[in-house]
Amino acid sequence: MAGDPLAAKSVAVLIDGQARSGAFVACPNYPTYAYAWLRDGAFCAHALDVIGERARASAFHGWAAQTVLSHQQRFETAIEQIETGKTPHAEEMPPTRYTLEGQLEPRVREPWPNFQLDGYGCWLWSLAQHPMNGADGVLSEATDLVARYLSAAWKLECWDCWEEPGDGQHASTLAAISAGLQSAAHLLHKPHLQAEAARIRRYLLRRFVRDGVLRKGIRDDRVDASLLWASLPFGILQPNDPRMRATVLRIRRDLGGGSGGIYRYRGDTYYGGGEWLLLTAWLAWYDAVAGDRDASDRGRRWVVNQAQDNGDLPEQVVHAAQAPAMIDEWVRRWGPIAAPLLWSHAMYIIMSAA
């Protein structure tokens, strides 16, 4: 990545977006995203590990572990209820995002979904990629707690990785959970967690593959660009597995935008349902690993071309929005599209290193 100005800018954005606590803000200039998502932060930390900024990645993992343990009772109560056959209310579950200080999000006039499971799996995966010898002390305690929580909760219906309407079970969420439990098994040397990860993988492939293609949800036959997770980085399917190749082919066909980027899913209306930079980078990452360097380079160039004048990468661009009439409505509601989105910059770094 030497000599790549956008890579250098991306590293700077991640560093500037890391709070003193170690948390990564989702976007510093967009009030709705003034929180720390475990999912976004996991990939930000991994991107920094990729370029050798290990101390900053360590700071994030320390923040995540301390945050989890500071809310231990919420986790333990959820685990106990699930194991006794009860379904906790979504508001009682550990949240998908926290304040930068590791507290629960304050109540707001316009609440939005905060019960997701993917972020906890993403964090365990990222922690296992972080250069260290196992997990000791606080990291070990938090890893064990999260692994017990995911083992208990993975069959529950929750919101998908986009916090979108349509709660249920989702393939990308289960992929993250399986990878997280596999990672916890490695970190804690607990084979039963590896067995549980394998069980979830079998369930995912049995219930979410139709006609050889992964589908978005248990009741949703569409493809979603987050299905790329099933291969990279979570390893449910290898890049050249016929089911993964068929899924990627469907993503290109159904989710390829008019300007060359990738949509989240068909029917998206958030800011008009534009092309997402982090997902286009993700597909370019997949293409590089699968051996299609030309396709990977095209995706990379597209992401570079969406950078704003100051080098910031936004969440999405709306040159070829699916629902153009919705753009102004969202701008009036929450302001301009989030930029810089730290997750976009993180995926550019990860993709560029492939």
Give the pLDDT confidence score for residue 134 in this predicted structure.
Answer: 65
Dump pLDDT digits (tens) for 280-325.
999 999 999 999 999 999 999 999 999 999 999 999 999 999 999 9
Q: Are 347 and 285 in contact (CB under 8 A)?
A: yes
One-letter identity of residue 42 = A
What's the predicted TM-score (pTM) here?
0.97
The H or E element containing residue 89 is: none
- Cβ-Cβ contacts under 8 Å for 199 (sequence gap 6 or more): none
How is the chain split into domains, by residue range?
A: 5-352
The H or E element containing residue 317 is: strand 316-317
Give the pLDDT confidence score for residue 343 in this predicted structure.
Answer: 99
Residues 49, 55, 59: CA angle, nearest 5 degrees:
100
Dump pLDDT digits (tens) for 174-207.
999 999 999 999 999 999 999 999 999 999 999 9
* CATH assignment, 5-352: 1.50.10.10
CA 169 to chain centre: 16
Q: Report the alpha-carbon distance of residue 242 to residue 263 in Å, rounded.
A: 23
Q: Are 349 and 304 in contact (CB under 8 A)?
A: no
Question: Is there a cis peptide before residue 340, judged by omega within 30 degrees of 0?
Answer: yes
Q: Are 260 and 298 in contact (CB under 8 A)?
A: yes
% of the chain residues with pLDDT over 70: 98
Give the residue from 77, 17, 36 showing the smallest Cα distance to 339.
17
Dump pLDDT digits (tens) for 103-125.
999 887 667 889 999 999 999 99
Residues carrying an active site annotation: 160, 163, 315
Give the pLDDT confidence score for residue 227 in this predicted structure.
Answer: 98
Q: Report the alpha-carbon distance of residue 89 to residue 86 in Å, rounded.
A: 9
Dump pLDDT digits (tens) for 202-257.
999 999 999 999 999 988 999 999 999 999 999 999 999 999 999 999 999 999 99
Q: Are 124 and 183 in contact (CB under 8 A)?
A: yes
Mean pLDDT of 87-91: 93
Q: How many CB atoms lie within 10 A of CB 170?
A: 30
Phi, psi of 262, rounded to the nearest 5 degrees: -120, 130
Q: Report the alpha-carbon distance of residue 149 to residue 75 in Å, rounded.
A: 7
If you average pLDDT over every residue of the chain, what do you get? Answer: 96
| DSSP string for 261-314 | -EESSTT--GGGT-EEHHHHHHHHHHHHHHT-HHHHHHHHHHHHHT--TTS---
- Cβ-Cβ contacts under 8 Å for 146 (sequence gap 6 or more): 68, 75, 120, 123, 124, 180, 184
Confidence band of 133 (pLDDT split at 50, 70, 90): low
Give the pLDDT confidence score for residue 3 in this predicted structure.
Answer: 87
% of the chain residues with pLDDT over 90: 94
Q: How many CB atoms lie within 10 A of CB 84?
A: 7
Query: What one-character DSSP code corresponds to residue 260?
Result: S
